[in-house]
Chains A and B, each alone.
Chain A
Amino acid sequence: MALPPYASPVERAWYYSFRVICALIFFFLIAPIFVIMPLSFNSEPYFTYPMPGYSLRWYDVIFGDSPQSILWQRAIKNSVIIGFSATLLATALGTVAALGLSRANFPFKGVVMAVLISPIVVPIVITAVGMYYFYAQIGLASTIPGIILAHTALGVPFVVITVTATLVGFNQNLIRAGSSLGAGPARVFFKVTLPLILPGVVSGALFAFATSWDEIVVVLFLASVEQHTIPRRMWSGIRELIDPTIAAAATLLIFLSILLMVTMEILRRRSERLRGIKA
């Protein structure tokens, strides 16, 4: 809100001090992210400014071929495998379920919805301990499939929420039109429904991916060294020896977050435009 011309001096003073306060809060939000990035190029193993020199040695620890690098590269590989598999599963299961939820009212709909959303409600430590206790008994602890199942469960609610939200504005008559023109249910889904709800599906998938990519607590309980992911490596990094390698890893992850954020923003705008909502 711009300052009106009739504002009194007190209002003026307040207006500018309010902006300064807000600037400080924004600074608090963003500064840590921008402070840690340059430190990953430090030539010395410290976290202080001014930096004595610049080097890529910490990136070499991640991408080189030292014993440490092997651990980092395995972590990256695991994170990618787990992330993509969990996202695929969560998106497929979640989208189909959201279609069902939007179609009809049926008994215990509230209870069913509560169960589908529960993974983001239950505190993560309880989830991790429960899964550890159960998966260990059926031989899924310390396996990649075990972690994929766990991450799928954690990511699914986001897909259900975003796709359900997209389906609110969805005209069910389009499905009937497709069917009346002779398309089978699968054809109707891929040719009519999916293209229209795609922004919701993709943003749900991105949420599911971000959840898995960032997940640490379940991995702490379920994974042994072979299944360590990037967050798990960083956890060890912070607890054991803290050197700029974790700053390098953090910088790489921040670039990925920027990518995710921009994609999300583009999708949101596209979906608003498609549905005729002006930004």
Chain B
Amino acid sequence: MTTIVPTADIVRTADGVPLKVKLRRAERMRKIRAVSLIAPLFLFLAVTFVMPIGIMLFRSVQNPEVSQILPRTAQAIQQWDGEGLPGEDVVAAFIADLRAAKEAKTHGKVAKRLNYDLSGFRSLTLQTARRLPPPETPPSELLDKLIEIDKRWGETRYWATIKKAAPPYTMFYLLAALDRNFDVKGNVIHAPPEVSIYIDVLERTFWMSFIVTAVCFLLGYPIAYLLATLPTKHSNLLMILVLLPFWTSLLVRTTAWVVLLQTQGVVNDAAVALGLWSERIQLIHNRTGVYVAMVHILLPFMVLPLYSVMKGISFTHMRAAASLGANPLRSFLKVYVPQTMPGIGAGILLVFIISLGYYITPALVGGPRDQMISYFIAFHTNTSVNWGMAAALSVVLLFCVMIFFGIYNRFVGIEKMKLG
């Protein structure tokens, strides 16, 4: 056996630079080149995608209205202990701020913000702003003047609400997205039942996603199995029946279901003619319609990963099990199904993750009680224009999706996400 004896000197390249240095330099060049190829896309996504979402999500803890529009009040009210009524400095600051806000026409924003905390505050603020006492009123009389305008200014809870809404950052929206709120002392309490809807919405989102995933699995497993076991010639033909819906526009498929499921639609026609049910029944704008349309749209996402795993499973194992005396059901459950676990995991997680963020199909096919969390994010953006709430619900949804995506990435691998 020969051993390589290192020569006295280090290995050098032709130009006399040590090989090690030269190699390291080449490797660094490679890295720089790779990074410079990725940089354009990375920056593009950072600006057009990551930053907008980041800024929007940050909106869930921002609380600019009171701190910016009523700055003197926000500062003065911090000294007040929340018992009884605030001192005359706070009242004077409030009246001065409100007068300035009315001139700048920003008092509507504050009114709206305070109303999130305590309903009725909007009209109270707007009314008060219209009838503010004259500036020369002595400070000691100001509180009485306010109570004269509206006796609610004599109640602690209205002043306490201003104090609660004063800090520039708040957990208010995030807590509200989980049906929680702060009391006057700053303890987290359950929000009043008339505004507690979001835990319900979250549960409904999970429940509907679960049902859709389960049904997709029950329908997807048999046809993936059939596709994987048929001769290629036949399975390619049947594969078209999976791929065509997959490539067909989401809106086209939702439209098709809206048309089919109408009370005067084709499904009711066929069912009445076949005697499945005797009277036309409501199939749309309810939960049934949403389930049917969502399962139809998401089924290919279940079939494709299952198929690609099943395609690689050899049937000799099943035959071996049969020759060892297992009946077909037993060999299927004990030998075949365990081998398809990667496909089952990938399909179930993918369908579940996509379902969690569903918006279009429930909005078009569902009724008011079938809307998922995405609908409420859109609602707070478009209709109520409550950015804090839209952002807080987005944080909740994104958090849930990220958890499941973490699992997906761990077991399947994000780069293996094949979509066709």
Contacts and interface: CB of A to CB of B under 8 A. Distances in A.
A261 interface: yes
Nearest to B50: A115
For the complex, would chain B's binding face be called helix, strand, loop or mixed by DSSP majority? helix
A126 interface: yes
Contact of B223 (A25, A49, A231): A25
Contacts of B250: 214, 216, 231
Given A1-B315, A48-B266, 4 more contacts: A18-B222, A30-B244, A100-B38, A247-B259
A18 B329 CA distance: 13
Nearest to B318: A1
Contact of B260 (A32, A127, A216, A257): A32
A134 B394 contact: no
A161 B254 CA distance: 28
Given A32-B256, A123-B398, A134-B55, A129 B265 contact: no
Contact of A29 (B222, B247, B296, B418): B296
Contacts of B56: 126, 129-130, 133-134
Interface string A239-267: 10010001100100110011011001100
A183 interface: no
B53 interface: yes
A180 B222 CA distance: 54
A199 interface: no
Contacts of A257: 244, 247-249, 252
Given A33-B253, A104-B34, A261 B247 contact: yes
Contacts of A26: 223, 238, 241
Contacts of A216: 250-251, 360
A21 interface: yes
A165 B419 CA distance: 12
Given A35-B256, A104-B31, A125-B359, A260 B398 contact: no
Contacts of A96: 37-38, 40-41
Given A122-B53, A125-B377, A250-B256, A33 B248 contact: yes
B35 A161 contact: no
Nearest to A47: B259
Per CB-CB distance, the 8 closest pairs between chain A and chain B, nearest first, are: A123-B357, A100-B37, A134-B52, A130-B53, A32-B256, A97-B41, A130-B56, A100-B38
Interface string B41-61: 110111011111111110100
B223 A133 contact: no
A142 B56 CA distance: 18
A122 B296 contact: no
B74 to A, nearest CB: 24
Given A93-B41, A116-B42, A130-B52, A246 B255 contact: yes
Given A123-B397, A210-B247, A103 B30 contact: yes
Given A49-B269, A210-B247, A131 B38 contact: no
